[in-house]
Amino acid sequence: MNIEVKYNFNDWVYPICLRREEKWIPCKSCNATGEITLLDGEVVDCPKCYGRKGEKEWLPQKWMINEDLYGQIKNIRTELYNNKKYGNSEIRYMITSTGIGSGTLWYEKDLFLTKEEAQKECDKRNKTL
């Protein structure tokens, strides 16, 4: 039996994943200082942001490239099924940036040789969200 894989050992790939980005929103009440001065001159934590100078807002999920995850393929795994109940066979990879042996398993459909290919697929998938 021959199993065809899209990527080979030592190929460098860009993984894409569904993630949420965070956006920092500075507190308007204290002008992002985390403090306010009372009329008597006492400085206290801002009652709106509790001294944190602002807050995080989570943006909606979207497909994106995380360039920190760019890595080299060092492990290729396949699962073959001879039963329609379990669906199609799967080929998954482990890459250096997310751990080999006990790291993240990446599906072949989520890995790309170039950043341009990865971004094109992200754009395509984001249109259907």
DSSP string, 90-110: EEEEEEGGG-SSSS--EEGGG
Instruction: Find all residues with CB under 8 Å of 43, minimum gap 6, and list them.
Output: 35, 36, 37
**Residue 3 falls within a domain, yes or no?**
no
Question: In this structure, are residues 81 and 88 in contact, taking their beta carbons and an 8 Å threshold?
Answer: yes
Question: How many domains are there within the chain?
Answer: 2
66 pLDDT more than 90:
no
Residue 117 lies in domain: 12-20+62-127
The pLDDT tens digits of the residues spanning 69-121 come to: 999 999 999 887 766 666 667 889 999 998 887 889 999 999 999 999 999 99
Question: In this structure, are residues 11 and 93 in contact, taking their beta carbons and an 8 Å threshold?
Answer: no
**Residues 87 and 47 both lie in one domain:** no
Q: Is the pTM of this model over 0.75?
A: no
**Residue 4 falls within a domain, yes or no?**
no
| Start-end of H helices in the chain | 115-127
Query: Residue with structure tokens 């985390």?
Result: 34
